[in-house]
Structure 1
């Protein structure tokens, strides 16, 4: 039954990827229906928190775009990169890494991806290069940020062994940065130059498309940007800063005591959602943009597709994993007992199916601890939970493809030969290898 159910899951993903747009989400729902009513698997809870985080971040980013705040940021970035535009393949992923590191969520990359696509197109750089490695960088930073659920979960699991969060960060931060930089170097060699790309040249035969590219490729005049756009950028960045402060200083979060004496603290998920939605509201009030302009922007459209995609696909994947967990666990256990280093592969494969670093950590790391794998090795293997780029259906991947109007960032004919495969594999493998080396050097 397991392999037949796996075939259904993969078929739904394959067909959804070929359809594109909301196809991933609706085909995920079809797969879920089959798993539920034919194979009798009990559906798990839909990934509501992830969907709400996406909606809140997209609301703020789309409002920022409508207020011309993104245009202002594009102008600043363009001014910085104009002297040497080839740097975008290296600078863009570092920016995405930093944003994710400080905000604690990779979905913050939605605000950066359109800037990257615009700048790359303007300067004649193949957008696939900076976009693909930037998406990977936003994932790698999840396993380096001190405020993400994945890092906190790993720290809690290893606490009995005397491991604190700083012990994780001193390995994961340099390891993932090395992985991203090496990934950027390799990615910078991928594909033909934009002017030689056959798909892009085919698009150029359409006069309307040429007009669209010409209009978008005009340099941004910072002096023409309204003051409200600059205020909108400040509001957005303030929202990110507030999230960082709450994540770095838990004591700032509100706590409540129930009648039974139990205390609860406001989660970072709720804080991110509230702060980003509030930031969107402030941007709307300050810039006085039309709400219709927000919902008609490409960021809002791409974000909406991302919500539908993760709704269907992640729900189907979670249901499949839960229904077959015992079978999967036994198979992985035998493999790890015979060759402990293969646990990183098990983490990678599981993350592909779970679409969540935190979920993968919570599901798999306890097994690693139970099997007696040294804590240092588990920390070194931590970046391997970033495998959900493997199947090109994660929201930031879909968004990056949508933002690239040149068509260079794409899902290949065979699905797995997509733009993010090489950058993702290289960055992850190098990060894990660097992690093992750092563990040996630091003696963790």
Structure 2
């Protein structure tokens, strides 16, 4: 029965991923119905805490976007990139990483990618190099930010083992940064120099193309951005810093004494929900935003799709794992404990199918916990959920290809030999390796 049930789970994930959007969540519900009513597995509880955290974070991020706070951040990034165009292959991915880390969403990369493409072309640097690693950097930062759905989901799953969100961050932040920097060094040598690229030289025969290259795009003027946008950024950053502070110092959180003498402090789940919702409220008041401005943005829509996806997939996955725990434990526990990297491979493959770090965490990490993999090892393997660059159809990948007018950033003849494969593999593998080293050093 195990393999039939596994087939149902994989089929629901595959069909849902093909549908896209909320398709992953609703197909997860179909899989759950089959597991419950056909195979008589007892359904577990839906992941309410993770879903509420995502809703709180996207409320704050959507308010920041509507207040033009994200526009202000992009303006600052543009000034930094234009100041050092010759180092763009190394500066651009760090900028994308930091912006995703702060905003909690990779969607902010859409605003930075055209700037990277333009500056690298005008500087004579092959745009494929900074564009490819910048896209990968925005993905890696998802597994390092304290306010992303993936990080919060992992923290919630590992909380019963005494793991705080700061325990995840002190491993994932340096590990992913090491992976991104290593990826930048690798891509700095890929492909021919722009002036020697045959595709680019062929395009230079087109007068319209040459004219477009010579045109200067107008940078965003700081004076055109309202003061409330800058205040909104400060509010959002303050909320993020407070989350990190409360995670690093549990003693600062409010605590209450029970009748039996035990002391219980507020959970980080509640802290994140309160601070993010509070930040959204303050931004709305300061910027005098209308509610419709928040719900119409792409961050709000994408975040709600993520909630539905996690709702269905995580509920189905938890039910499958709980119903087959004995079989799973007896069959593969020894292998996974002896070679933890095999579970990292499973996380990577599942992320390719799910196109979501958070959904992968909620679908697979409970299995790792059930198998008895140490919490530190699961944290080290966390960056391996960044595998959705493998098949080049993710929106940021398509956007980067579109922004590169020189044609150097491309999907190869065999599809998988695309511009993002090498930096993606290098960054992910080295981030996981660095994670294991850091776990040993910190004793997590």
Q: State TM-score, norm by structure 2.
A: 0.71
Contact 1:49 1:269 in 2 (8 A): yes
1:355 aligns with 2:351: no
Tell me which of 119, 134, 137 is aligned to 1:133.
137
Distance in 1 (CA, whole Å) between partners of 2:109 and 2:72 is 15
Q: State the partner residue of 1:304.
A: 304
Distance 1:381 1:301, change over 3 A: closer
Is 1:315 aligned to residue 315 of structure 2?
yes
- Kindly report which structure 2 residues correspond to 1:260-409, keeping only aligned pairs within 5 A, or say none: 260-336=260-336, 340=338, 342-349=339-346, 352=350, 355-356=360-361, 360=365, 363-364=368-369, 367-368=372-373, 379=376, 382-390=379-387, 400=396, 406=402
Match of 1:208 in 2: none
Partner SS, residue 431 of structure 2: helix
Structure 2 runs not aligned, ≥5 long:
122-126, 204-216, 352-358
Moved more, 246-255 or 259-268: 259-268
Deviates more, 1:303-312 or 1:166-175: 166-175
Retained in 1: the 8 A contact 2:96–2:138? yes
- Is this contact kept in 2: 1:67–1:283, CA < 8 A? yes
* TM-aligned CA deviation for residue 30 of structure 1: 1.6
SS at match of 1:386: helix
Is this contact kept in 2: 1:154–1:365, CA < 8 A?
A: no
Unaligned 5+ residue runs, structure 1? Answer: 202-216, 370-377
Give RMSD over aligned pairs: 4.7
> What secondary structure, in the 3-state scheme, does the structure 1 residue paired with 2:104 have?
helix
Question: For residues 4-41 of structure 1, what are the alpha-carbon distances to aligned partners after superposition, in whole Å with 9 as ceiling and x for unaligned?
Answer: 22222222222222222222222222222222221222
Distance 1:383 1:190, change over 3 A: farther
1:7 maps to what in 2? Answer: 7
Query: 1:372 maps to which residue?
Result: none
Mapping for residues 79-158 of structure 1, pairs under 5 Å: 79-84=79-84, 90-91=90-91, 93-94=93-94, 108-110=104-106, 112-117=108-113, 119-120=115-116, 123=119, 129-139=133-143
Bigger mean CA offset, 86-95 vs 226-235:
86-95
The 2-side partners of 1:318 and 1:415 are apart by 34
Measured after TM superposition, the shift of residue 279 of structure 1 is 0.8
TM-score normalised over the length of structure 1: 0.71
The verdict on how the C-alpha distance between 1:432 and 1:303 changes in structure 2, with shifts beyond 3 A counting, is: closer
- Per the TM alignment, residue 386 of structure 1 is displaced from its structure 2 partner at its CA by 3.4
How many pairs are equivalent?
400
Asked whether the 8 Å contact 2:340–2:373 carries over to 1, the reply is: yes
- Aligned mates of 2:238, 2:173 — CA distance in 1: 24
For residues 347 and 324 of structure 2, the distance between their equivalents in structure 1, rounded to whole angstroms, comes to 12
Rounded to whole Å, the distance in 1 between the matches of 2:83 and 2:12 is: 46
Q: Following the alignment from structure 2 to structure 1, what is the Cα–Cα distance between the partners of residues 99 and 185?
A: 21
Distance 1:358 1:30, change over 3 A: closer
Distance 2:400 2:301 in 1: 14
Partner of 2:34 in structure 1? 34
Give the C-alpha shift of residue 112 in structure 1.
Answer: 3.9
SS in 1 for 2:264: strand
The alpha-carbon deviation at position 292 of structure 1 amounts to: 1.0
